Each structure stands twice: as structure tokens, then as C-alpha cells.
Amino acid sequence: MRVVLDTNVIVSAFLNLFGTPARILHLILQGDIEIIFDERIIMEYEIVLCRPKFKLFKEDVHSIVEVLRDTGISAPAYNSSVDLPDKGDEPFLEVALTSKADAIVTGNKRHFPKDKCEGIRIVSPREFMKLL
């Protein structure tokens, strides 16, 4: 399965190593799920995870982000006319659309209204695990 992971799922995986987002990240790192991204998404992962409030070691964050970059699929950056409630979520939908991802996994489904997503499945981490 090919997915785009919203940053909130990556953050949750780091903050709760035994939660559903961490299991998804583990499946990605094992190669059981393909993560799709572009440079905007990778940069957001790293910037957000390095925020002081998360108290994560920058070296650890950088290492995981590099593994995601090496094992995932880099999609061409594509700016569309997509208009989502949170502009920061637009790169995730753009990448999902251009790469024909199976789903966007997010903790904020309301940020991705169905009528804007052109058939891309928007699922929570828990819903995603049920699809596997």
C-alpha cells in the first residue's frame, strides 16, 4: 500500500512508541508499506520534530527522516489549485494526487474535506491499520 503520512502521525509515532502511528512507522521502515513524499513534506517532518517542545534529539530525528527519504518514494513537487481549510495540508494532498497514493493517513481528517480530495482515501491511523 502506498500512503502519504501527515506530520501529526509522524509526531505521534515519536511521542508514543507503542501507539498505532508508531506501528505504521515500523511497517514503513520494514518495507511493508510505501511512504510517498516530496521535499516540502520531508522538510516539514524534520522541522516539526525538532521543535523544543518535543524534546527529541536532532540526530535521531535526522536519522529517521533520512531512512524515510531512502526507503520511501519521492514524488515530484506539484502545486495545484487545491484549496484546503489548512493551507499547510495542501502539499500532502498534492503528493497523494500526483502519485496516486492509496490513502493519506492523518489525525486531522476534517482538514481534508472529501469533496476536495478527488477520490483519495483520508483515514485515521486506526482506520488505516484496519485496511491492511
> What is the SS3 string spanning 27-48?
HHHHCCCEEEECHHHHHHHHHH
Q: Which domains does the chain have, with CATH numbers?
A: 2-131 (3.40.50.11490)
pTM: 0.95
- Structure confidence by residue, pLDDT tens digits, 40-96: 999 999 999 999 999 999 999 999 999 999 999 999 877 777 889 889 999 999 999
- Structure confidence by residue, pLDDT tens digits, 19-41: 999 999 999 999 999 999 999 99
57 backbone φψ class: left, alpha, beta (φ>0; ψ -120 to 50) = beta
